[in-house]
Amino acid sequence: MIKIKDLEKIYRTEEVETVALNKLSLEVKEGEFVAVMGPSGCGKSTLLNILGLLDDPDGGSFMFNNIEVAHFNERKRADLRKHNIGFVFQSFNLIDELTVFENVELPLIYTGVKSAERKKRVEEVLDKMQIMHRRNHYPQQLSGGQQQRVAVARAVVNRPKLILADEPTGNLDSSNGNEVMQLLTDLNEQGTTIVMVTHSEHDARYSHRIIRMLDGQTVLENIMV
């Protein structure tokens, strides 16, 4: 599903040049659950942004479903992203002005799904995340765990092939964190590919494979059994 070769990303300011990704190569197969680990500043977030088509690389190749996307313009990237990729963030990133239902509905609106169909799918996914009773509440009225479940619901409502999770349990206590990890595992078992950045060895154990990064390169791969 994802094939990366010699990927480079360099951040430049007037005085300093920071190499975030240094000729990184990586492959993720369809249906895999991969955890990316490493110290702060090792480039794992940059990698996730590029995988999520939020940022473009400065060099190298990025094949997504056998299409070269490294030099797609913003429009094309947005189009590919909204149909194929779901995001889960550490800080949930729900829109405060929208209710739970409306937050989850948003990706469907941008992909042009009809209103009746939207309602059905949002309810389905809210049900699955056991958050249906909170559908008319605003994010501030929910606990952290509930907010993250809404965020996961939003990430999967469009039935993406790939979910990118950026420290999904970072802001949660351990029981809520485990719940979210279980959700991701369930999704993966139903066929969704997941790439997750995490600091937590505990969370990483839910994955099939751990990629350890340092200074913009992969240094080690652990296959989980």
Partner 1 sequence: MFRNYLKTAIRNLWRNKTATGINLLGLTTGLTCCLLIGLYMQHELSYDDFQSKGKRIARVIMEYTFGADVTRGNFTSTKVAPTFSRTFSEVESAIRMTQTTKVVQYGDKSFVEKKFMYADSTFFDIFSFKLLEGDPRQALMYPKNVVLTKSVAKKYFNNQSPVGKTLKVGTDGVDYLVTGVMEDCPSNSQMRFDMLASFSTLGVNQEVTYTNANYTTYLLLKDKNSFDGLQTKIDNYFKEENAKSNDPFKVTFILERFDKIHLHSPYEGFEPNNSITYIYIIAAVALLIMAIACFTYINLSTARSVERAKEVGIRKVIGAMKGQIFGQFVGESILLTLTSLVLSIGFVMLLLPWFNDLTNKQLSIASLATPFVIAFTLIIVVCIGLLAGSYPALVLSAFQPIRVLKGSFKNTGTGLLLRKSLIVFQFVISVFLIVGTFIIQSQLHYIQSKKLGYDREHVVVMPLDMKIMKVLPVLKSEFTAGSDVLSVARATNLPTHIYGGYSMNRPGLPEGTEIMVTANPVDEEFVKTVGLEIIAGSDFTRQDMEDVMHEEQEKKIYHYILNESAAKEMGWTPEEAIGKKMFLGDMRPGYVRAVVRDFHFTSLHNPIKPLVLFTEDWGRYILAKISGKDIPGTLARMESAWKKLVPHRPFEFSFLDEEYNNMYSAELRIGKVLNIFAAIAILLACLGLFGLSSYSAQQRMKEIGIRKVLGASVAHIITILSKDFIKLALIATLIAFPFAWWMGNKWLQDFTYRVNVSWWIFLVAGSLAVIIALVTVSIQAVKAALANPVKSLRSE
Contacts to partner 1 by CB under 8 A: 45, 49, 52, 54-55, 74-75, 78-79, 81-83, 87, 89, 91, 93-98, 102, 105-107, 109-111, 154
Question: What's the min distance (Å) between Cβ of 55 and partner 1?
Answer: 6
- The DSSP symbol for 50 reads H
Nearest to 103 by CA among 143, 144, 145, 149: 149
Q: Which is nearer to partner 1, 89 or 135 (CB)?
A: 89
Where does 57-198 have alpha helices with state H?
A: 74-84, 100-110, 115-128, 144-156, 174-189
Confirm if 179 and 146 have CB atoms less than 8 A apart.
no
Angstrom distance (rounded) from CA 3 to CA 201: 25
Question: What's the min distance (Å) between Cβ of 217 and partner 1?
Answer: 21
Q: Which is nearer to partner 1, 103 or 188 (CB)?
A: 103
- The DSSP symbol for 143 reads -
Q: Which is nearer to partner 1, 94 or 100 (CB)?
A: 94
Question: What's the min distance (Å) between Cβ of 80 and partner 1?
Answer: 10
- Dihedral of the alpha carbons of 79, 193, 51, 211, in degrees to the nearest 10: 180
Question: What's the min distance (Å) between Cβ of 88 and partner 1?
Answer: 11
Which pair of structure tokens corresponds to residue 158?
A: 């469009």
- The DSSP symbol for 15 reads S
Question: What's the min distance (Å) between Cβ of 20 and partner 1?
Answer: 12
Q: Which is nearer to partner 1, 31 or 170 (CB)?
A: 170
Q: Which is nearer to partner 1, 19 or 80 (CB)?
A: 80
Angstrom distance (rounded) from CA 197 to CA 39: 11
Q: Which is nearer to partner 1, 71 or 202 (CB)?
A: 71
Question: What's the min distance (Å) between Cβ of 64 and partner 1?
Answer: 15
